[in-house]
Chains A and B, each alone.
Chain A
Amino acid sequence: MVDWQFLVLLLTNGVLIGLMYSLIALGFVLVYKATDAINFAQGEFVMIAGFMVAVALGAYGAPLPVAAAAGLAGMIAFGFGLERVVLRPLIGRPVVAVIMATIGLAAVLRGLGPLLWGAETKPLPLPIPDEPIMWGPLFLPPIQLLGGALSVVFLGVFGWFFLKSRQGVAMRAVADSQQVAMAVGINVERYFALAWAMTGVVSALGGVVWGNLLGVDVHLALVGFKVFPVVILGGLDSIPGAIVGGLLVGLVENVAAGYIDPYVGGGTKDFAPYVLMIVALMIRPYGIFGKKIIERV
């Protein structure tokens, strides 16, 4: 006997949360697609962005558009600066070096956020209602709808950007081969910086949405742990992959949590996506939509 209403609830919640994961994963994918760099600090990006907006709203009393603009500008500047200081010297170095550099960056950001803005959890109020919308059997919290809608919008925007715009095509060329891109006159370094700035933009929005949902403190960075299953499942360099991977992870973790948690006493949410990911790594490491150029050993 299946409790359909329960299942539907789990599924809708999974879809919405999954789309919100996609928003964060999008930042990871953008950087990987353009620069081949792996960002282990994606969750910390989101946290820092959340801090910026929450502090602008709370401590300085700025109106929401101003605070959001400040967060965006801050994250873009941060993305540019980061690329210049940390990532550029590491171009051409082994992949482990880049991974460790971003892990180090994650530690710095996790220390810096509370040091600058205080360790207590800050609210990030948005002018949307708190009460979930009941729609038939569905149960839709507005903030998750907003997050999901943002993800879909960004999918469209970045899809257009990479397919049609001049900069997007140049960025794909850079991703394909840096040397050839240089040879045809593309300023590779500028596109690297642009990619990091774009990640900053996505992270800023992710920070606003997630910050509203969870409150802003160091633990906001933990959503970054969900990025890896999402991007591995979807494909590291694929924007539709980020969305599909996010949906998959959201669905799997909600269904697993709904049906397994009562037997094992919680925690399945953090565990199930990684099991799925291990299976995916063994069968199809390049993901559902990723380019099949993984180096096999």
Chain B
Amino acid sequence: MIHRECGVLKTSYAADMALYPLPIARWTVAGLAVLFFLVIPLSLHEYYLSIVNLVSIAVIGALGLNILVGYTGQISIGHGAFMSVGAYTAANFAVRLDSPWPVNLLAGGLMAALIGAIVGIPSLRIKGLYLAIATLAGQLIIEWIINHVTFISGGVQASIEVPRPQVFGYVVASQRDMYFLLLAAVGLAVVGTLNLMRSRVGRAFIAIRDHDIAAELIGIDIFRYKLLAFAISSFYAGVTGVLYTYYLGIANYEQFQVTVSIEYLAMIIIGGLGSVLGSIFGAAFVTLLPILIRYAMEAFGGLFFSQQTVLNIIPNLRLILFGALIILFLVVEPEGLNRLWRNIRNYFRVWPFAY
């Protein structure tokens, strides 16, 4: 949040866990709401809104992955596949049953949650590297199944077109309409995650992350909560997949390959593990990075290279910067953008006094 904190004097745990730690936080949230519901959709061009929409979709996925990796301390390199599960479930519902989009969204999310929990079963026996490889296997196997079972993938090129979503008979066609839909979804996801982490379940997740044996000793059913973490996280991933499918108008497995799983991991690492705000920062950063690189190269690349070379090196440059940033954050600032933001806030807490 962006207000300055002062007068923080909490006398109860309830106050410490409150969604609004200070009265002024309500004003900040109200201000953000005005910004996101009025200023951005009314002032930005369709094209820029389409980019904001991409960020919104990524935010939901990053929040989900952060629940698993950041809060529960597990790891998944299979989130791209969970998204594709959601996407294809929704697309099949939409095409075969002609069901409305909220049903598809829910079905996609639940199906992804189920598959995610199944892929998460090895987490009961193994962790760390082994779990990473097991989920990677899950990713490759799911990808292969979707690609090869025509009942799921709809045959040719494994892609299914979905109809535009409708809200009370109003067809969501433009990016501006989509923006509001996604904004509502992001709002729900953010509030849902914040509240989840304040609840019994969230505290159990954090206990498992901090020390699994200690968590078991104080009576947390590790099996149940780990699977629950996988299921919730995959539910978010499934919803991300469905929303992305509606955004593109088509479900295609190529949008959900291993690189996507890695991108989402990069988001939460760059943004900050175990932080809602960090997930948002990371999602925005990783989504905007390639777009910014393209702009920068188109603007300045011509000074050094020919036009054709510029076009050729953009994708390579993107990969290099992407990887280098992951490494940089891991080595220099493991807590990510969220930590940088906290540092800035802490600096301004007593500003202009220097103590």
Binding site for B on A (CB under 8 A): 38, 86, 89-90, 93, 95-97, 99-101, 103-112, 114-115, 119, 225, 228-229, 232, 236, 264-265, 267, 270-271, 274-275, 277-278, 281-282, 285, 294-297
If the complex has contacts A103-B262, A104-B327, A267-B144, are A115 and B317 also in contact, measured as CB distance less than 8 A?
yes
CB of B140 within 8 A of chain A? Answer: yes
Whether A108 contacts B323 by the Cβ 8 Å rule is yes
If the complex has contacts A104-B324, A281-B134, are A294 and B126 also in contact, measured as CB distance less than 8 A?
yes
**Complex Cα gap A175–B27 (Å):** 55
**Chain B window 128-165, contacts with chain A (Cβ cutoff 8 Å), 1 for yes, 0 for no:** 11101110111011001001100000000000000000
**Complex Cα gap A65–B108 (Å):** 56
Residues of A contacting B134 with CB < 8 Å?
278, 281
Q: Which residue of chain A is the closest to B315 with respect to CB atoms?
A: A111
Whether A275 contacts B141 by the Cβ 8 Å rule is yes
Whether B133 contacts A228 by the Cβ 8 Å rule is yes
Question: Which one of B12-20, B51-59, B117-125 is at the A interface?
Answer: B117-125
Contact among B125, B136, B326 for A100, CB-based, below 8 A: B326
CB of B322 within 8 A of chain A? Answer: yes
CB of B30 within 8 A of chain A? Answer: no
Binding site for A on B (CB under 8 A): 69, 75, 122-130, 132-134, 136-138, 140-141, 144, 147-148, 212, 222, 226, 262, 265-266, 269, 312-313, 315-320, 322-327, 330-331, 334
Whether A285 contacts B126 by the Cβ 8 Å rule is yes
Whether B326 contacts A104 by the Cβ 8 Å rule is yes
**Complex Cα gap A112–B144 (Å):** 29
**Complex Cα gap A108–B320 (Å):** 4
Residues of A contacting B326 with CB < 8 Å?
100-101, 103-104, 107
Residues of B contacting A93 with CB < 8 Å?
330, 334
Contact among A108, A228, A275 for B136, CB-based, below 8 A: A228
Residues of B contacting A95 with CB < 8 Å?
128-129
Contact among B133, B141, B319 for A281, CB-based, below 8 A: B133
Whether A101 contacts B331 by the Cβ 8 Å rule is yes
Residues of A contacting B320 with CB < 8 Å?
107-108, 111-112, 115
Residues of A contacting B122 with CB < 8 Å?
278, 281-282
Please name 8 further chain A to chain B contacts, defined as beta carbons within 8 Å, in addition to the given A96-B128, A97-B330, A281-B130, sorted by A numbering.
A105-B327, A108-B320, A111-B319, A225-B140, A271-B141, A274-B141, A275-B137, A297-B123
Whether A108 contacts B129 by the Cβ 8 Å rule is no
Whether B126 contacts A297 by the Cβ 8 Å rule is yes
Residues of A contacting B313 with CB < 8 Å?
115
Q: Which residue of chain A is the closest to B119 with respect to CB atoms?
A: A278
Residues of A contacting B127 with CB < 8 Å?
295, 297
If the complex has contacts A281-B122, A281-B126, are A104 and B144 also in contact, measured as CB distance less than 8 A?
no
Residues of A contacting B331 with CB < 8 Å?
86, 89-90, 101
Whether B144 contacts A105 by the Cβ 8 Å rule is no
Nearest-Cβ distance from residue A271 to partner chain B, whole angstroms: 4
Whether A100 contacts B269 by the Cβ 8 Å rule is yes
Residues of A contacting B75 with CB < 8 Å?
96, 99
Residues of B contacting A101 with CB < 8 Å?
326-327, 330-331
- For this complex, 14 residue pairs linking A to B, each with C-beta atoms less than 8 Å apart, are A90-B331, A93-B330, A95-B128, A100-B326, A104-B322, A106-B323, A111-B315, A228-B133, A232-B133, A277-B133, A278-B137, A281-B125, A281-B126, A294-B130
Whether B144 contacts A271 by the Cβ 8 Å rule is yes
Whether B129 contacts A99 by the Cβ 8 Å rule is yes
Contact among B137, B330, B334 for A104, CB-based, below 8 A: B330
Q: Which residue of chain B is the closest to A99 with respect to CB atoms?
A: B132
Q: Which residue of chain A is the closest to B70 with respect to CB atoms?
A: A96
Whether B312 contacts A107 by the Cβ 8 Å rule is no
Residues of A contacting B318 with CB < 8 Å?
111
If the complex has contacts A111-B320, A281-B133, are A270 and B144 also in contact, measured as CB distance less than 8 A?
yes
Nearest-Cβ distance from residue A265 to partner chain B, whole angstroms: 7
Whether A107 contacts B319 by the Cβ 8 Å rule is yes
Q: Which residue of chain B is the closest to A106 with respect to CB atoms?
A: B323
**Complex Cα gap A129–B158 (Å):** 41
Contact among B69, B147, B222, B316 for A114, CB-based, below 8 A: B316
Whether B327 contacts A86 by the Cβ 8 Å rule is yes
Nearest-Cβ distance from residue A121 to partner chain B, whole angstroms: 15
Residues of B contacting A296 with CB < 8 Å?
125-126
Q: Which residue of chain A is the closest to B312 with respect to CB atoms?
A: A119
Residues of B contacting A115 with CB < 8 Å?
313, 316-317, 320
Residues of A contacting B265 with CB < 8 Å?
100, 103
Whether B323 contacts A111 by the Cβ 8 Å rule is yes
| Central interface residue in B128, B222, B226, by most chain A CB within 10 Å | B128
**Complex Cα gap A205–B318 (Å):** 29
Q: Which residue of chain A is the closest to B262 with respect to CB atoms?
A: A103
Nearest-Cβ distance from residue A84 to partner chain B, whole angstroms: 12
**Complex Cα gap A33–B322 (Å):** 29
Contact among B125, B312, B323, B324 for A285, CB-based, below 8 A: B125
Nearest-Cβ distance from residue B121 to partner chain A, whole angstroms: 8
Closest 3 pairs between A and B when the two form their complex, measured CB to CB: A104-B326, A107-B323, A111-B319
Whether B327 contacts A274 by the Cβ 8 Å rule is no
| Central interface residue in B124, B222, B226, B324, by most chain A CB within 10 Å | B324
